[in-house]
Structure 1
Amino acid sequence: MSPFPPRTAATGKAASSFLPQSSGDGRADAGHHVLVVMFDGVQLLDVTGPLDVYAAANQHGGDYRLTTASPDGKPVRTTAGLRLVPDLALDDADFPIDTLVVPGGPEWRVPVADRALIDAIRRLAARSRTVAAVCAGAFPLAATGLLDGRRVATHWRLAAELAAGFPRIQVDSEAIFVREGRFVTSAGVTAGIDLTLSLVESDLGADVARAAAKYLVVFMARPGGQSQFAFRTHARVPRHSPPRDVTDGVVTDPGGNHGLRALEARAGGDPEQLTRLFPTETGSTTADFTGRLRVEMAQALLEGGDDALEVVARRSGFGSQEAMRRAFGSHLGVSPGLYRARFRTTRPEAVPRRS
């Protein structure tokens, strides 16, 4: 027997016990009401991930009433090609909203340009206790102006675009999810599960969130941040020399000699100018920039080869396995061995087991 509520055959909607119910006087009944916004081009897992977390929490004492809504109440097509049937139109969500969930999609400019959708999200957010954006859902939520002055997370591939499009918000490209008052935003796709588990923990306590995580076979809190997935793709490239000469040399050969004297020589022998200009142009020190690129080179070697960790450390410029381990801990929050196990293969026997 399925632990999740049955869905009606005709519409695919959740059974009525899963929706806000009337108490007889026009008010919604008890329970925590969650409204998930849907629109054409939405990322499927941005919608279903949070819904499944809430549904799992309901099996362990939760009383979440889950409702989905599209702008006109009509079905929407997701990025996977699957059609989702909403429960109602956004304007018909006239019940108290405890949590509003705004998912996203890779073509974020489409929902942002839909003024009716943005206005509806703004209205609904104004009367919601908590507002959560999953992945690129940060874009339509940012378009409402409600995220101005706040720190915000989104998919690492979209962080630069979010920062450029909405300069009044502070984009955190590393965080899995960020809480700022009643607003919560998450990194890409599956990070919506992390975000929702966090919301469940806030609502019902760690025991319920842990039970839901175990049921879904996911981490309650995943190790590391988004830097496990990219650095070079969103690293700032200096526009001027000598900083650009320095970064070109490091990017070309992360495992090479990039000590301070070597970098100064590459910058024309002016250490003061390099120290002053490099952070301005790249947003980091020479040591941090070099270290992060070496970590990324080591990541590639760990994912695609069988070299021993000592060999990987030497080839990527760390010099020793211990130095590489410290760098991975600092930048990624995981060890080189665990990183290799998690990102190289889906075979469960390849992942280290604890006794």
Structure 2
Amino acid sequence: MKQIKIGMIVFPGFQLLDVAGPKDAFAEVKVLSGGECQYEMLTVGTTRGSVQSSSGLTVVPDRTIFDLCPHFDTVLVPGGLGIFETFDDPALSDWLKEQFKHARRVSAICNGLFALGSAGLLNERTVTTHWMDVPRLAATFPRARIEPDHIYVKDGSIYTTAGVTAGIDLSLVMIEEDFGRKMALDVAKYLIVYLRRAGGQSQFSPLLESQAAPDSQMLAIQQYMLDHLAAEHTLASLAERAHMSPRNMTRLFTKECGLSPTAFLNNARIDAARRYLESTDLPLRHIARQCGFDGTDALRRTFQRRLKINPADYRSRFRSADSPDRTQDVVAEAR
């Protein structure tokens, strides 16, 4: 019988699903293999006694970072709001550094990778995390190379994932590495999840996040683009509205908004198209025209390139079967 030991850190305020999801996925290996293969999973607390998750449910860890632990093949750090009170704890950092010396894999789900960063394990590593935590991660650990749209990233022995349910994606990756594709596929079928989820985090996160300050001249430029998505904007035409040179307008816009006018416009068009797909039954050709795309083929190519999913699949995933057709409200909401 092949057995692999996994240590799962738990800290006050951890995300319960980040632990429960992988534990259930790993546990199915024993069931589906008839006991021939299995994972031995131990929870390791950052404090002594019971540990309360962010949802209020409490677990009693099998060990703590202050106790003698067995050799772990794989270490997993969950995410959760409590990580920001815990990640720079010297005792946890020392424990992770020691585990890194011997473990085959050290992994983190969601913002659990902040603990890996505090232990110095993210330097010059390519990583991902929940899209909401990307700016904070970049500011806190500037030596980490961040792939913000990935569901999971493997860089050597360091594995990182996007938020919450991505812990199950990561578990399936590990099961495939350990026991083969068929076993991973069988577990995925049992859990009724995809073995490989289509698309990246962008399909779940809003792209239109950069807004200029209320008193900025660039806010007027942003609003103009949002009000006229179907127009053929150029840097020259936008600069003329701002009474600036294209170069100066681009420099100022990028400084205040964190991205170029062209990138903002592209994001705005994708975001508006997403809202149409989520909230209406309009045909793709109409959505493409309303959002400034040069036909349905351009809309499909953009979605595939940026969101790693085509518009039809996006609509089937994110449009509720009983949601009302809100065609008249979409343009206003997209702004």
Please, what TM-score do these two structures have when normalized by structure 1?
0.80
Cα distance change, pair 257–316 in 1 and its aligned pair in 2 (3 A): same
Distance in 2 (CA, whole Å) between partners of 1:178 and 1:238 is: 34
Q: Which runs of 5+ in 1 are unaligned?
A: 1-28, 348-355
**Does 2:68 correspond to 1:121?**
no
What amino acid is aligned across from residue 87 of structure 1 in structure 2?
D
Residue aligning to 1:76: 51
Distance in 2 (CA, whole Å) between partners of 1:181 and 1:257 is: 45
**Does 2:326 correspond to 1:339?**
no
C-alpha RMSD over aligned residues: 2.8
The DSSP-based 3-state class of the residue aligned with 2:150 is coil
Residues 120-199 of structure 1 correspond to what in structure 2 (within 5 A)?
A: 120-199=95-174
What amino acid is aligned across from residue 64 of structure 2 in structure 1?
A
C-alpha contact 2:18 2:167 (8 A) present in aligned 1? yes
Q: 1:55 aligns with which of 24, 27, 34?
A: 27
The DSSP-based 3-state class of the residue aligned with 1:97 is coil
Residue aligning to 2:63: 88
What amino acid is aligned across from residue 40 of structure 1 in structure 2?
P
The DSSP-based 3-state class of the residue aligned with 1:65 is strand
Distance in 1 (CA, whole Å) between partners of 2:266 and 2:42 is: 46
Distance in 2 (CA, whole Å) between partners of 1:168 and 1:238 is: 29
C-alpha contact 2:208 2:264 (8 A) present in aligned 1? no
Distance in 2 (CA, whole Å) between partners of 1:342 and 1:30 is: 38
The DSSP-based 3-state class of the residue aligned with 2:49 is coil
Residues 239-318 of structure 1 correspond to what in structure 2 (within 5 A)?
A: 246-251=221-226, 253-266=228-241, 268=243, 270-273=245-248, 286-318=261-293
Cα distance change, pair 71–172 in 1 and its aligned pair in 2 (3 A): same
Cα distance change, pair 252–132 in 1 and its aligned pair in 2 (3 A): farther
How many residues matched?
319
Distance in 1 (CA, whole Å) between partners of 2:209 and 2:74 is: 32
Residue aligning to 1:203: 178
**Does 2:7 correspond to 1:32?**
no
- Bigger mean CA offset, 123-132 vs 329-338: 123-132
C-alpha contact 1:32 1:98 (8 A) present in aligned 2? yes
Please, what TM-score do these two structures have when normalized by structure 2?
0.84
Once the two structures are superposed, what CA deviation does each residue of 1:168-212 show, in whole Å capped at 9, x if it has no partner? 212221111111110010001011111121112122221211111
Residue 277 of structure 1, CA deviation: 6.7
Distance in 1 (CA, whole Å) between partners of 2:29 and 2:230 is: 47
What amino acid is aligned across from residue 313 of structure 2 in structure 1?
L
What amino acid is aligned across from residue 175 of structure 1 in structure 2?
H
Cα distance change, pair 124–252 in 1 and its aligned pair in 2 (3 A): farther
What amino acid is aligned across from residue 11 of structure 2 in structure 1?
F
Cα distance change, pair 161–196 in 1 and its aligned pair in 2 (3 A): same
The DSSP-based 3-state class of the residue aligned with 1:149 is coil
The DSSP-based 3-state class of the residue aligned with 2:276 is helix
Cα distance change, pair 127–270 in 1 and its aligned pair in 2 (3 A): same
- What percent identity do the matched residue pairs reach? 36
C-alpha contact 2:63 2:69 (8 A) present in aligned 1? no
Distance in 1 (CA, whole Å) between partners of 2:150 and 2:212 is: 22
Residue 55 of structure 1, CA deviation: 1.2
The DSSP-based 3-state class of the residue aligned with 1:63 is strand
